[in-house]
Amino acid sequence: MNSFGRIFRISIYGESHGIQIGAVVDGCPAGIPLSEDDFMDDFARRRAGGRGTTPRVEPDLPKIVSGVYKGKTTGAPASIVFENTDTKSKDYDNLLYHPRPGHADYTGQQKYGGYNDPRGGGHFSGRITLGIVAAGVIAKKILNPVKVDATLVEAGGTTDIQKAVEDALKANDSIGGIVECTCSNIPVGLGEPFFDATESMIAHMIFAVPATKGIEFGSGFKAAIMKGSEHNDLIIDKSGKTKTNNAGGINGGITNGNDIIFRVSVKPTSSIGRPQDTFNFKHQTVEKLLIEGRHDACIALRIPVVIECATAIALADLIMLEQQRGRVY
Amino acid sequence: MNSFGRIFRISIYGESHGIQIGAVVDGCPAGIPLSEDDFMDDFARRRAGGRGTTPRVEPDLPKIVSGVYKGKTTGAPASIVFENTDTKSKDYDNLLYHPRPGHADYTGQQKYGGYNDPRGGGHFSGRITLGIVAAGVIAKKILNPVKVDATLVEAGGTTDIQKAVEDALKANDSIGGIVECTCSNIPVGLGEPFFDATESMIAHMIFAVPATKGIEFGSGFKAAIMKGSEHNDLIIDKSGKTKTNNAGGINGGITNGNDIIFRVSVKPTSSIGRPQDTFNFKHQTVEKLLIEGRHDACIALRIPVVIECATAIALADLIMLEQQRGRVY
Amino acid sequence: MNSFGRIFRISIYGESHGIQIGAVVDGCPAGIPLSEDDFMDDFARRRAGGRGTTPRVEPDLPKIVSGVYKGKTTGAPASIVFENTDTKSKDYDNLLYHPRPGHADYTGQQKYGGYNDPRGGGHFSGRITLGIVAAGVIAKKILNPVKVDATLVEAGGTTDIQKAVEDALKANDSIGGIVECTCSNIPVGLGEPFFDATESMIAHMIFAVPATKGIEFGSGFKAAIMKGSEHNDLIIDKSGKTKTNNAGGINGGITNGNDIIFRVSVKPTSSIGRPQDTFNFKHQTVEKLLIEGRHDACIALRIPVVIECATAIALADLIMLEQQRGRVY
Amino acid sequence: MNSFGRIFRISIYGESHGIQIGAVVDGCPAGIPLSEDDFMDDFARRRAGGRGTTPRVEPDLPKIVSGVYKGKTTGAPASIVFENTDTKSKDYDNLLYHPRPGHADYTGQQKYGGYNDPRGGGHFSGRITLGIVAAGVIAKKILNPVKVDATLVEAGGTTDIQKAVEDALKANDSIGGIVECTCSNIPVGLGEPFFDATESMIAHMIFAVPATKGIEFGSGFKAAIMKGSEHNDLIIDKSGKTKTNNAGGINGGITNGNDIIFRVSVKPTSSIGRPQDTFNFKHQTVEKLLIEGRHDACIALRIPVVIECATAIALADLIMLEQQRGRVY
């Protein structure tokens, strides 16, 4: 479903070329200062415009239409909406029978029996992540003083990201990258032993972000080649601080107070400026398809803020869940 | 929480040295043949006993105490219980103030204010995964003809797994590994575009399995160094079959009918046969701790069946959710 | 929380005098014809305007901003929004310390620490039920051929409802009423034995409608004075039809194929045109309060369509949940 | 589904004549003293044995098999199990085609395609409410100092309950009754404005209890014949105390600090000692059925403690949900 969270619960909706996209944030505590301006920094990070990003640039002006009164959250659901303005709606219907490789054209068409909106990817568009960012901005306010920081540490296999992007642009191709995320000032005790393990909740949200292919916490895939004597993080003081952080800040699903650290693999943008083979279901044969439209050479440039906000949403829910415990007894 | 699933919903409970552990499976369709024998093969795969696994060997005899009548599921919740028999309960209370590195002793103690059961890891014990395997056996019956297969493809950095285990045993150390899981005969259309993406649901379950550190679908972390022109899976026939499977069988969160393929990183067992430094909260200083007990040199040997069953549980829920669609209109 | 449903899941938001109110409908099947016109009949039934209803009359023009393409639902979340136009925003802040009897002024102020929007009841306003009606209109399309019909059968203790309303208006007072709801063409087998009993799901939704004080299914409160020999509904044919319908169409939480019948008690509107005593928290004493604003003498006149739509939402979720069963085995 | 609750979440399972019934209580705070003895008083209230109750008397010995260590809850799921001992398993299969009036035989058979366990009502048996009582006993400990008290105030239309029962026994018939429940020391601010209104949560649980036909809060069905000037509860002091309690302690879905008061209608036991007409699906005709077995002349005698515990479960969840709010800001 398009909602997430047990206490801090968000719902998102919208299509790339639809009238409006938005997010409804339920379970938000009352009294948090919130205005449209608060969203601007994160929207700017997400927005296209630089080299290697799509020329479709939306102003992304959020409108808070409920849940805020006199500049503060009321405790009622906060609804944030965005009008779609730059929607060049040419004919996309051919995508229903001649699907773009790497996109959700085929799966969407099959799942929804051909009733899905194909314009610009419809509901599958990365544009819908604007709702995740909006909810994440609120989540980050709840989390304070916990901080979540995600950065692109590598693209196209190199840390010289600018060069990698230029090369991809020249080749009419696209590249992927690695995003690293660090959550600091984390209290001990978030998360649950099994199904709502901290890693489970974060990974659940991260894979809700389009283009993510993998996630690893702490030592991650390196753990597979380490020995226990190397991997175990030794506790060195009474705050629970550990000498190393192979655990990525989580033991038994529960935060241990050290930074939560994880890395996310982002695939190269599926839309590229070259013709590609794909099955034409009308002609019943494989045919070349050239995707015209506008697209990013490296979607990984724009994804860190979405990863960051997705993480903040998961943590806000965990932190609000945890706050009930100590009180009862 | 210790429950998972929207339609096929499982709850697990129990402690390593408690009286009983078990699983309650709600939402199971009626009429599925089910007997205690059906669990035996998967329990055998999970059970300790071989080189590199703990000498604690429980008979793991499941008892179906509800939800089955005349050999078939009734549609009411199925409850499967296991008595704990081999519980050498020595004094574990020292773990509450002198926590084992890599384990959940410290986080459990903090989260539950010192009331957690420390014996053999208590509720954090890998033994509780018996409930996941039990539920997974039922899930696999629902999934049929979908197949889920997980195998250990590498341990201690090598495919000569037997040698890696012998080396670790000699060194009183432990090793991790990589489990690969393939789901075949998958229908097109499972999963949702955002928060309940197929990857989200599977990853959520996989990180509920103790010792997992990372998950990657299809191309996974290699996607970060691939070009779009290499990564895009070209659709080559009308069944939606693709030439490559970098997507791991999922586009836009939704299954595309190709195999779902993912890999999981498993850390080396935290209990090793060597003294390790860790903070003693009673003495307020770092002190050596030697974990006596019984343990696995390579937990990754026993984990594939748990990964397989965790995956089957996620897929069973997705498949039951999907079955409502086509009917309505 | 302000969301409901496991498969057909709705979220509502907004305030009486806020910018926008709305509903997000997730889990809606693809391919259902849907346009703004489809909402008009039910909105007209809900709208004020007749004798005994508030003079605040909003045009209630719904705008479908997502989830519909070429006149049909796409399977993605449908978002329906309403602009608030007739919001005479005088100063409502006195309600934060001098709460209106029978309203949620005091509880809202306490729950949200004084941050709630007090204008016209804010998020507690009956106006927010517009979102329930919007979602219910979609639910009724899914339910077809199941029909849900709710009518006001009594107001102010009489079936001469018009006279009762006139009397209340003359007395500057308000009256309550009884709404009866019948659901026909119900398939056998909806609902669950315990926590998701059909009655549980319907009652859950009905008490989400402001002003409801009681619900009874079939024989209801009369059951308490009946004998088993009178109360038992005898099955008289192979369709499961019963001679009487004291069960209200439900046995053991599960629909039996006969009509679901229930009655709802609606309290008199809390806002009346007379001064009333209530504690003034600023002056720390009981003082008279005269509620100026605009209000209904008999909210029960407008509530049947809300009851009907709330019921349709619960049934749509149950019916979609049930559709997964028969398929699996 | 057979689980309920967002933070304090319970699952129940079992059949009347199965091996074991039980409850799993997840989300229970750590450190609550809990032993088998704590359940005895409420089990005694629920147990059969007096005049008008079934001669089937089970010892109802609970066994806590997880979640408790050294006499206190650990924070891990608490599992409480009961062995079924007094299960005279004669042949019940005729109920699959010749269903008892008023029971769930027909609906169960239809919903589960004939795979349901028909012995003694199977999973539909009132005996399964033992799990609700077990969870309720824990919930009441969490609620302290909030108190929940339910009593039978009327049976067979009279307060001379003993006489009413004797009359029913003589007539081989059964009678219903009214249970009144009062929750005191309630904090202000529990519940949500719409879908998780306090009334919604309580009613959801109450209709999970077999044999309930109606629920009314405060003025309930009398509200329909009251005027606003009579119905409004005037706030008379700074604690929020009201002069009357027509609201039943709840405004806008949120508790106002006054007692929560509601009444529940309980139908007469469906099993009576007289032959009744019902359709025989094998013979395709209406035929007399005499229910032999053992049954209660007035199930309402045993139901108050179940109502009480069901209410405590709903309130425990609401109270734990609420405890997160004040903390955040």
Q: Residue A326: its pLDDT value, please?
A: 43
Angle between helix axes D304-322 and D129-143 (nearest 10 degrees) is 50
Domain residue limits at D314: 3-328
Q: Does any CB of chain B come closer than 8 Å to the CB of residue C31? A: yes
Average pLDDT over residues B112-132: 93
- Give me the residue from B107, B232, B274 closest to A270, CB to CB: B232
| Residue C135, SS3 per DSSP | helix
Tell if the CB–CB gap between D26 and B2 is shorter than 8 Å: yes
A41-55, B151-165, C290-304, D8-22: least confident range: A41-55
Amino acid residing at B124: F
Q: Does any CB of chain D come closer than 8 Å to the CB of residue A71? A: no
Q: What confidence tier does A134 reach under pLDDT thresholds 50, 70, 90?
A: very high
- CATH number for the domain spanning B241: value is 3.60.150.10
Q: Does any CB of chain D come closer than 8 Å to the CB of residue C278? A: yes
Closest C-alpha to B318, from B249, B216, B265: B249
Q: Which two tokens stand for residue D139?
A: 């919930």
Q: Which two tokens stand for residue A18?
A: 């639809």
Burial A274-307 (b: 16+ CB within 10 A, else e): eebebbbbeeeeeeebebeeebbbbbbbbbbbbb
Q: Residue A325: its pLDDT value, please?
A: 52
Average pLDDT over residues C142-168: 96
Q: What confidence tier does A96 reach under pLDDT thresholds 50, 70, 90?
A: confident
Please determine, for residue D329, whether its predicted confidence score (pLDDT) is greater than 60: no
Q: Residue D86: its pLDDT value, please?
A: 67
Tell if the CB–CB gap between B193 and A270 is shorter than 8 Å: no
Please report all neighbours of A, defined by 3+ CB atom pairs within 8 A.
B, C, D
Q: Is D312 exposed, middle or buried (0-12, 13-18, 19+ CB in 10 A)?
A: buried
Contact list in D for residue C192 (CB cut-off 8 A) is 1-2
Amino acid residing at C49: G
Residue pLDDT, tens place only, A190-242: 999 999 999 999 999 999 999 999 999 999 999 999 999 999 999 999 999 99
What Å distances lie between residue A43 and A16, A126, A137, CA to CA? 16, 13, 9
Q: Does any CB of chain D come closer than 8 Å to the CB of residue B87? A: no
Closest C-alpha to C217, from C259, C164, C280, C161: C259
Contact C34, C79 (CB under 8 A): no
Rounded-to-integer distance, Cα D247 and Cα D283, Å:
52
Q: Which two tokens stand for residue D93?
A: 């299969």
- Give me the residue from B156, B188, B195 closest to A107, CB to CB: B188
Q: Does any CB of chain D come closer than 8 Å to the CB of residue A142? A: yes
Residue pLDDT, tens place only, B64-89: 999 999 999 999 999 999 998 866 66
Best residue in A4, A7, A9, A11 for a mutation probing chain C (most C CBs within 10 Å)? A11
Q: What are phi and psi of D286, to 5 degrees?
A: -75, 130
Residue pLDDT, tens place only, D60-70: 899 999 999 99
Q: Does any CB of chain C come closer than 8 Å to the CB of residue D12? A: yes
Q: What confidence tier does C84 reach under pLDDT thresholds 50, 70, 90?
A: confident
Rounded-to-integer distance, Cα D228 and Cα B34, Å:
59
- Give me the residue from B13, B26, B116 closest to D79, CB to CB: B13
How many domains is chain A partitioned into structurally? 1
What radius of gyration do chain A's Cα atoms show? 21
Residue pLDDT, tens place only, C219-239: 999 999 999 999 999 999 999
Contact list in C for residue B193 (CB cut-off 8 A) is 76
Best residue in C167, C198, C251 for a mutation probing chain D (most D CBs within 10 Å)? C251
Q: Is A94 exposed, middle or buried (0-12, 13-18, 19+ CB in 10 A)?
A: middle
Within 10 A of B144 (CB to CB), how many other CB atoms are there?
11
Q: What confidence tier does D328 reach under pLDDT thresholds 50, 70, 90?
A: very low
Q: What confidence tier does C86 reach under pLDDT thresholds 50, 70, 90?
A: low
Residue pLDDT, tens place only, C119-138: 989 999 999 999 999 999 99
Average pLDDT over residues C170-193: 96
Q: Does any CB of chain A come closer than 8 Å to the CB of residue B104? A: yes
Tell if the CB–CB gap between B324 and C323 is shorter than 8 Å: yes
Residue pLDDT, tens place only, C187-214: 999 999 999 999 999 999 999 999 999 9
- Give me the residue from B107, B231, B234 closest to A277, CB to CB: B234
Q: What is the DSSP string of B37-58?
A: GGGHHHHHHH---STTS-S---
Strand ranges across the sheet with A20-26: A3-4, A9-13, A20-26, A78-83, A63-66
Q: Does any CB of chain D come closer than 8 Å to the CB of residue C1? A: yes
Q: Does any CB of chain B come closer than 8 Å to the CB of residue D122? A: yes
Rounded-to-integer distance, Cα A286 and Cα A303, Å:
32
Average pLDDT over residues A154-183: 96
Q: Does any CB of chain A come closer than 8 Å to the CB of residue D57? A: no
Helix, strand, coil percent values for chain B (each to nearest 5) = 30, 25, 45
Q: Residue B233: its pLDDT value, please?
A: 98
- Give me the residue from B7, B12, B66 closest to D14, CB to CB: B66
pTM above 0.90, yes or no: yes
Contact list in A for residue D321 (CB cut-off 8 A) is 7, 324
Tell if the CB–CB gap between A106 and B193 is shorter than 8 Å: no
Rounded-to-integer distance, Cα C69 and Cα A21, Å:
14
Q: Does any CB of chain D come closer than 8 Å to the CB of residue A168? A: no
Rounded-to-integer distance, Cα B179 and Cα B37, Å:
26
Please report all neighbours of C, defined by 3+ CB atom pairs within 8 A.
A, B, D
Q: What are phi and psi of D188, to 5 degrees?
A: -75, 140
Nearest CA distance, D257 vs chain C (angstrom): 9
Residue pLDDT, tens place only, A228-241: 999 999 999 999 99
Q: Does any CB of chain B come closer than 8 Å to the CB of residue A283? A: no
Residue pLDDT, tens place only, D127-173: 999 999 999 999 999 999 999 999 999 999 999 999 999 999 999 99
Amino acid residing at D154: E
Contact list in A for residue B247 (CB cut-off 8 A) is 102
Q: Does any CB of chain B come closer than 8 Å to the CB of residue D67? A: yes
